[in-house]
Structure 1
């Protein structure tokens, strides 16, 4: 199958804050990480606006790398690490990091293979739209537990109505972690990511179709 060439998206997070992303609008199964998904835009805005984010941050299933690149470009982290398991996706996010002159580390990580885990724990872990039918949910939670600092927080953003969400929450609790969920109701998260607002909503139609949910995962730290 011959795919059309990718396009460069100028993703507008807020006024005067853009990230350039190489986006493959059409993709073959297994390469969906080269497409920029709406949840990634919401996550990038979350890390841009959230208070008290500092230290070391790890992005799981980074895809285009938008959120991690935002951390590098507009926040002051000690270390920003982007990860994925698909080599084509890794190559694409490497190009995106270069497009934005982002100071990030890009690593191969397979949640199902502990030998690919990093020998580091992070103050924050982030990810977007990681829970779907067929996703290795238990392995994802194991990956989070292996990389999160004892007092750290993991933030996962997903659109509402994902049918695997109850399984995700149950597996988190069975792993001895705690999880809280809250809808991101601030309309800024759903604003058009383009100077041309109408075009931005056409390119990223799901921004207007979903409410996005923030899942905060922590260890059960007992006093």
Structure 2
């Protein structure tokens, strides 16, 4: 793969940053090597609202691994993605941060093979045009323990969100909560150089995000 990777110290909170190796420019199909703003917002949400927590987590569609790396500072986490090359890069980020994580290849379309459950699942940018949304639903249903929670960040302008919510509602298996994240702490520049931060991660300035919480009945 002819890609140019850069390593940045991504600021999560005033007292916390995570080293991330990712691409700034990439070709179609290589999205998992780029740190998306939704992943930054999710990581900040987890830091401010969920941690510390001693439950077993899964970081679904981990991408560069930033959220899983944060979680690993507090508890056990399984970081998953369907693309092995993406997982290999996430593993490099795990090592950069001297973290302890389990990485596992997981394709939602193979949800019938899932044989274990976790307490909490987190994810960002999992709902998009062309995504196998029914398979994602079945994957969440199989993975979550009863009363388990799935935290999902979705940009406010994502057109297929309503379709996914309908699928998650279809069998009455989940209670669904929704919150527009408006607090500025989620949208602060993630690099020390603020101008560079908004150049590389413009969505922190231009977008708003919803947090959806799906609680398994």
TM-score, structure 2 as length reference = 0.94
Match of 1:49 in 2: 48
> Which stretch shifts more, 173-182 or 123-132?
173-182
Q: Is the 8 A contact 1:72 1:103 kept in 2?
A: yes
* Matched positions, count: 215
1:13 and 2:17 matched: no
Corresponding position: 1:141 with 2:137? yes
Deviations along 1:33-82, one digit per CA (max 9) or x if unpaired, are: 01100000001101111146331000110000000001113xx21x2000
Q: CA RMSD in A?
A: 1.4
Q: Within 5 Å, which residues of 2 pair with 1:52-63?
A: 53-63=53-63
Structure 2 unmatched runs, 5+:
none
* Aligned counterpart in structure 1 of residue 98 of structure 2, from 92, 101, 104: 101
What is the CA distance between 1:115 and its match in structure 2? 5.2
Deviation for aligned residue 1:120: 2.3
Check whether the contact 1:109–1:116 (CA below 8 A) recurs between aligned residues: no
Instruction: Give CA-to-partner distance per residue, 1:16-38, whole Å, 9 cap, x none.
Output: 31111111122232221011000
8 Å Cα contact 2:111-2:135 kept in structure 1: no
**Contact 2:24/2:200 (CA < 8 Å) preserved in 1?**
no
Unaligned runs of 5+ in 1: none
Q: Aligned to 1:132, what secondary structure does the other structure show?
A: coil
Distance (whole Å) between structure 2 residues aligned to residue 196 and residue 116 of structure 1: 45
The answer to whether the 8 Å contact 1:179/1:218 transfers is yes
In structure 1, how many angstroms separate the alpha carbons of the residues matched to 2:96 and 2:191? Answer: 18
Contact 2:38 2:155 in 1 (8 A): yes
Moved over 6 A (4+): none
Say whether 1:37 aligns with 2:33. Answer: no
Q: TM-score of the superposition, structure 1-length normalised?
A: 0.92
Residue pair 2:39, 2:66 contacting (<8 A) in 1 also:
yes
